């Protein structure tokens, strides 16, 4: 095993193979990039507080605080321990399995093909062009997934989920009050989308032509649909959107207690990315069904 204690800005290169990466920091930033190069590199450009312990053993590269374990990470609420920060950038082989844990820090993971798991207490996470399975668990941090082609799992208390150009086999998300905005990539494979929320809003934009079996339910929220082929039921209280679009190869299921649900249609041709996030409950165009 090789080990380094990083107390000041420093760069390290690792000649031994790296197949797994584990990063755990408090405050600051983590940036992980996949590369076709066979070796891994680390740059700690800023550090304040206790040292970061860097270890390499049996193909696993770890960059973490010694007192911040992965097990029970989301319950680490030692406020005195939050008085630290680091800015960490890593380049790893594209097939590396990545685990990132952040408390009050932002994280970006891009261009990898292995399994990715992110845990965050606070701080936003951005996931870009990941082709392996992805799991993100947060307390209040937001997650944005761009052009992710692997299975995506998301769990949060109050963090928001935004999926842009999603084309993976499945998107599954659970939240209490965070909003969920899912934009599915046109021309992608049939996708299974399963979203569960309590009070947060849900907006799903389907490609043209759409191809999915749809079931959306809310106990007391509003619903809106941009698709005339779907049935919208319920005038007071519980409301439901059901039906089939196209051949029905994909599956879309959304459930909320008091949050709103909007099913939006992507235009047949579009050059600009979808970046309009609703400030309030998502609304469909005024000439569409709204209850």
Query: Which one has a higher pLDDT value, 287 or 182?
Result: 182
Enumerate the domain spans of the chain. 18-111, 142-291
Q: Is the pLDDT of residue 180 over 70?
A: yes
Burial class (CB in 10 A: 0-12, 13-18, 19+), 78: exposed
pLDDT digits (tens, 9 = 90+) for 225-267: 999 999 999 877 899 999 999 999 999 999 999 999 999 998 8
pTM listed for this prediction: 0.86
Output the average pLDDT for the chain: 88
pLDDT (tens digit per residue) in 4-61? 999 999 999 998 999 999 999 999 999 999 999 888 999 999 999 999 999 999 999 9
- Tell me what pLDDT residue 288 has: 45
Q: Taking 60 as the threshold, does the pLDDT of residue 70 lie above it?
A: yes
């Amino acid at each position: 095993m090789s080990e380094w204690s990083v107390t000041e800005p420093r760069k390290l290169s690792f000649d031994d193979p790296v197949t797994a990466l584990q990063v755990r920091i408090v405050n600051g930033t983590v940036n992980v990039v996949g590369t076709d190069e066979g070796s891994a590199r680390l740059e700690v450009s800023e550090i304040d507080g206790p040292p970061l312990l860097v270890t390499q053993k049996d193909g696993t590269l770890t960059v973490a605080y010694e007192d911040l374990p992965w097990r029970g990470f989301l319950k680490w609420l030692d406020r005195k321990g939050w008085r630290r920060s680091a800015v960490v950038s890593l380049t790893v082989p594209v097939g590396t399995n990545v685990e990132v844990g952040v408390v009050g820090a932002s994280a970006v993971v891009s261009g990898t093909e292995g399994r990715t798991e992110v845990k965050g207490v606070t701080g936003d996470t951005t996931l870009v062009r990941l082709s392996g399975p992805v799991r993100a668990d947060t307390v209040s941090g937001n997650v944005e997934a761009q052009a992710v082609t692997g299975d995506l799992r998301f769990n949060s208390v109050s963090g928001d989920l935004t999926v842009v150009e999603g084309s993976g086999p499945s998107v599954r998300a659970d939240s209490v009050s965070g909003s969920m905005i899912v934009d599915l990539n046109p021309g992608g494979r049939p996708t299974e989308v399963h979203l569960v929320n309590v009070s947060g809003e849900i907006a799903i934009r389907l490609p043209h032509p759409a191809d999915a079996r749809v079931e959306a339910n809310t106990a007391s929220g509003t619903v809106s649909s941009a698709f005339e082929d779907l049935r919208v039921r319920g005038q007071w209280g519980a409301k439901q959107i059901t039906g089939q679009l196209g051949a029905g190869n994909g599956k879309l299921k959304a459930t909320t207690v008091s949050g709103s649900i909007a099913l939006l249609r992507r235009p047949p041709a579009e050059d600009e990315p979808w970046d309009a996030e609703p400030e309030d409950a998502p609304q469909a165009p005024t000439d569409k069904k709204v209850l």
